[in-house]
A and B are shown apart, each in its own frame.
Chain A
């Protein structure tokens, strides 16, 4: 984005404004934009809610908060869901930073989950649980990495389109998982996945989701350090900014691509492992629940910064949980709460535009630029 530094004259005709890239923006100003956008979003949603349903919007927002953090259970639930979404988002981030559009996270998560479930079914009872969990973890990391490496290999070898390739790999993974779900279903033929008893992740301090959260926190910290301070992280950003520059300074673009996609897939594999062994204790074709796609938004909104992404994934899960409470309390079709969430996210994304660009009046072209 930084390459577009001069004015973009969107129209030479009668438009009263043109768009100018901001050079830099003070952090508090950027946050001010974000806060204003949220307030605006809440006002717009409020107007829509009142006019369509007659529900008091303030009450609705309180219901939303109650649905997300109303009880201790809901708070744990919120953190657990945030952790899983964050984990998938962290997985796609290095690939995105490299401008490799990995939209195959959904499939990579499922394949990781499939590896975990396979171990739980066939190795459960043959070895001590800690060892079994270790094997599950290693195999799901490998499975995810392989699922990520396939499109990367074809990209480096034949310059195939990674967006389409990773997308298609999702459907392959979904069908493979659907096949095994049916194969392993109990009772046979019902299409209902069996509950996997052996190799479930243990509860720490009586909290069954704590281990998931801790694992994701560790991955977040490692990913932050990896991207920001490691040589490999630097190589990723260089490849992302310009492949030619990377080649010029002696970085093997192919190697970086393969390595980064293996990492991306591997972390997705861990997310699949956490979902199957840590929360669901079963495997279905919708175990990933669309997180592979939501993660794209989380990663972009968080500007590929793992620490920001904690916030963005939290925000999205918070909105989802709150929205489902709205439909429960007010007996509205869940689509209505989806609309509300959609509007809020739209405004937040919109605020990023005003943080990066500003509108300048065409009449005062000569006026000095200051934000």
Chain B
């Protein structure tokens, strides 16, 4: 019996010493060339099975490969929930010697911020967050993209499809009603569907839209149900801001055109997919890595669009889109880049029948949602300028909300 006990003891000691050795080994690696020393860690909410996370993962792979980072210099932590686990993951990445830690989900923010305060020598970058400009933690940064411009273009494609239906006598101008499946009644979603609607309206003035919220960022069944409800309300075109295939599939089954998000759904919906807008995160990743390598500061709020390559449109599906869509999109894109057209031009929308010349938005997030910043100037709503994440939350005329989720 003693023999077995002592054997067990030896085994435990062996395991412990191996663990210690491997921990030491890691530290020894720290001494190397400046560039070989660099490490970046990514924290993702899900794995590549989610379209949202796959978009980030692909961008991270592209950016790190292009900058010549080795596998040892890039660490991915996937399936990290929006809880204390996120803080632990960030702290562990910092312990492993990461110079930059990036997290991709909105709910990661408070935990990343907590880690940023604890590790001032590490840069913490967080996508879609809202507090970097008010927290003033030097090593904590937010990033987003002016995706509302992408959605505006997607809206133009939708409007042209509606015009085609009107011209062919399939619907009357009054019947040009679109449906939109949104996740939550929240600025990011409101900004998204409004820019989409305004894009459609710029080419099809009689268009109206109904919005149905699901109360979840990813719920295939709910999104499909919402799309079906909109279809039964006689919506003749559907778009969505949620991450599953629920709405596109419902559209394909019903033979109703769909404008997608996060990437092309053409392979699953060859007859109804028109176009999709998405954010490409590779430019941001390259920016933060280069800034860190050069010892330059990373801006607190980063928001870029077409020019930096952060906002992209997929190829137009000729089978479903109206003729001449691609050319119209290219033209509008050039005008958006030159500043000739503004998505939220106050001349193009009204709120309760009135044109706005002043509006205070809740840019500095607080629990009471106090409006704090004047965002209308020079005849347009300045979206994503005072912080990277969207704050357009006006309910404009022409859009009907079927429910609310907040």
Q: What residues make up the interface of A, taking CB atoms closer than 8 Å to B? A: 28, 31-32, 35, 62, 65-66, 69-71, 73-74, 77, 182, 185-195, 279-282, 284, 286-287, 289, 324, 327-328, 331, 333-334
B88/A193 in contact, CB under 8 A: no
Known: A189-B406, A286-B81, A289-B81. A331 touches B76 (CB 8 A): yes
Nearest chain A CB to B83's CB is how many angstroms away?
Answer: 5
A186/B88 in contact, CB under 8 A: no
Q: Chain A contacts of B186 at CB under 8 A? A: 187-191
Among A182, A280, A287, A289, which residue has the most Cβ atoms of chain B within 10 A? A280
In the bound complex, CA of A279 to CA of B1 (Å): 42
The 8 A CB mask of B179-215 against A (1 = contact, 0 = none) is 0000111111000000000000000000000000001
Q: Chain A contacts of B47 at CB under 8 A? A: 333-334
* Nearest A residue (CB) for B11: A35
A328/B184 in contact, CB under 8 A: no
Q: What residues make up the interface of B, taking CB atoms closer than 8 Å to A? A: 1, 4, 8, 15, 18-19, 22-23, 26, 47-48, 71, 75-79, 81-84, 88, 91-92, 95, 106-107, 109-110, 130, 183-188, 215-217, 362, 365, 367, 369, 405-406
Q: Which listed residue, A182, A188, A289, A333, touches B215 by the CB 8 Å rule?
A: A182
A185/B4 in contact, CB under 8 A: no
In the bound complex, CA of A42 to CA of B83 (Å): 32
Q: Chain A contacts of B216 at CB under 8 A? A: 191
B84/A190 in contact, CB under 8 A: no
A-B contacts, 27 of them at CB < 8 A, read A28-B1, A65-B19, A66-B19, A69-B19, A70-B22, A71-B23, A187-B130, A187-B186, A187-B362, A187-B365, A188-B369, A189-B184, A189-B185, A189-B405, A190-B107, A190-B186, A190-B188, A191-B107, A191-B216, A191-B217, A192-B109, A280-B84, A281-B84, A282-B83, A328-B76, A328-B77, A331-B76
- Closest 10 A-B residue pairs measured CB to CB? A189-B406, A189-B186, A192-B107, A195-B110, A189-B184, A279-B84, A280-B84, A189-B185, A190-B186, A65-B19
B95/A71 in contact, CB under 8 A: yes
In the bound complex, CA of A192 to CA of B103 (Å): 15
Among B23, B48, B75, B187, which residue has the most Cβ atoms of chain A within 10 A? B23
Q: Chain A contacts of B15 at CB under 8 A? A: 65
A282/B23 in contact, CB under 8 A: no
B1/A193 in contact, CB under 8 A: no
In the bound complex, CA of A62 to CA of B20 (Å): 11
Nearest chain B CB to A280's CB is how many angstroms away?
Answer: 5
Nearest chain B CB to A365's CB is how many angstroms away?
Answer: 33
B110/A282 in contact, CB under 8 A: yes
Besides A70-B19, A71-B95, A187-B186, 9 more A-B contacts (Cβ < 8 Å) are: A62-B19, A73-B92, A187-B130, A190-B188, A195-B110, A282-B83, A328-B77, A333-B47, A334-B79
